[in-house]
Amino acid sequence: MPRKIVILIAAALSTITSIALASEPNDYIAPGRALLFDGSLSGIQSAYHLFDEGLKDGNCPECQTNRELRFFHAASGTAMLMVRDDGNSINSLFELLREFGINVSGEHWSAYFDPNTLGINAVINEHDVYEFPADAPDIKEIRNILEESFVPEIQIIIDDLSSIEDSPANRFKIYLEPSEIRIFFHSDSDVFNSSSPDYDPNSRFLKPVEVDYGEVLLLKGILTVLKGQLKAKAAYDSYVDSNDKLLEKIYGNSFKINEDLLLPRPEILNVLPTINDSNDGAAILAQARQD
């Protein structure tokens, strides 16, 4: 067989295989939404990874620009700032709490599963009082975690939202189904209980709820403010000696702001530099404003 014919056959087979393996956005959106709204922590985590796989799928050229996939990637990514637990860098609230001996127990975050929802377990001493772990991060380490882990994650979500376009001729608009909204209500809520005397068949929650570009801008604004606050915190003196019993006093309801915080630490919350930190607070604030 002539070499040229062999090459043409190989190219044709490659094209056919690529077409057969090609994905489409809904291959990720539909199962991802089902996971995101199942009321569990693992559902949020799995949904985020599924949406992320969709955006990185080289066999799905439409996925990169699909606005619905981008939105749910951003929404689940925002939730992951709370619930991520992958054993890598500390970039979620749950992972940060663990560094202080505080663990979140349970699987279901939704009120629908009440009373089997999340709980908090903290390390306590022989006096049944929370005790600050000796190896917990200090203020400087916390600042580094926030600036080096949390802020970049927030920026990724903001970039996702910024990529969603909206115009009069092509409005961004998606709908949350009643089956998805249901997870935000208690299992015996009158809204969905047709046998309840307070049941309203015309309730807006029994119909698809519209999410449009306004919600995109709202979420983006909240995250931008959060990012700015985290970056600005690095501009202030927040030094507390690791041997101090400040948190124990707060937990034990014996904390006095003047005696325990302001008088012993006259420089606390002053703009840097101070004797505790030589960083340029004014420059940090200026950069935070610019960002």
Distance CA 47, CA 29 (A): 9
Domains identified in the chain, total number: 2
Domain, as residue range, for 79? 3-234
Comparison of pLDDT for 126 and 273, the residue scoring more: 126
pLDDT computed for residue 55 by the predictor: 96
Please give the average per-residue pLDDT across 63-85, as a whole number.
96
Q: Is the pLDDT of residue 97 over 50?
A: yes
Strand partners, 130: 124
SS (H, E, C) 206-259: HCCEEEEHHHHHHHHHHHHHHHHHHHHHCCECCCCCCCCCHHHHHHCCCCCHHH
**142 and 59 fall within a common domain:** yes
The pTM of the full predicted model, rounded to 2 decimals, is: 0.78
DSSP result, 126-159: TTS-B---TTS--HHHHHHHIIIIIHHHHHHHHH
Distance CA 274, CA 267 (A): 7
- Return the closest-CA partner of residue 209 out of 174, 184, 182, 246: 174
pLDDT band at 247 (very low <50, low <70, confident <90, very high): low
Please give the average per-residue pLDDT across 206-224, as a whole number.
96
Q: How many C-beta neighbours within 10 Å does residue 84 have? A: 22
**151 and 196 fall within a common domain:** yes
**122 and 258 fall within a common domain:** no
**23 and 58 fall within a common domain:** yes
**73 and 48 fall within a common domain:** yes
pLDDT in tens, 170-201: 999 999 999 999 999 998 889 998 888 999 99
pLDDT in tens, 155-173: 999 999 999 999 999 999 9
Boundary-marking domain end, from 234, 261, 276 = 234
**261 and 206 fall within a common domain:** no
Comparison of pLDDT for 227 and 263, the residue scoring more: 227
Residue 176: which H helix or E strand, with range?
Answer: strand 173-176
**88 and 220 fall within a common domain:** yes
- Return the closest-CA partner of residue 130 out of 143, 117, 120, 140: 120
**241 and 227 fall within a common domain:** no
Q: Average pLDDT, whole number, for the chain?
A: 83
**140 and 182 fall within a common domain:** yes
pLDDT band at 80 (very low <50, low <70, confident <90, very high): very high
**143 and 242 fall within a common domain:** no
- Written as six digits, the tokens of 271 are 């703009």
Please give the average per-residue pLDDT across 225-230, as a whole number.
88
pLDDT in tens, 134-162: 888 887 788 889 888 999 999 999 999 99
Boundary-marking domain end, from 219, 234, 249 = 234
Please give the average per-residue pLDDT across 66-92, as a whole number.
94
> Phi, psi (5° rounding) for residue 122?
-120, 150
- Asked if residues 228 and 286 have their Cβ atoms less than 8 Å apart, the reply is no
Place of tokens 């404003």: 289
**146 and 269 fall within a common domain:** no
**228 and 279 fall within a common domain:** no
> Phi, psi (5° rounding) for residue 142?
-60, -45
pLDDT in tens, 249-288: 665 666 676 666 666 666 665 666 666 666 666 666 666 6
Give the whole-number percent of the chain exceeding pLDDT 70: 73
pLDDT computed for residue 45 by the predictor: 97
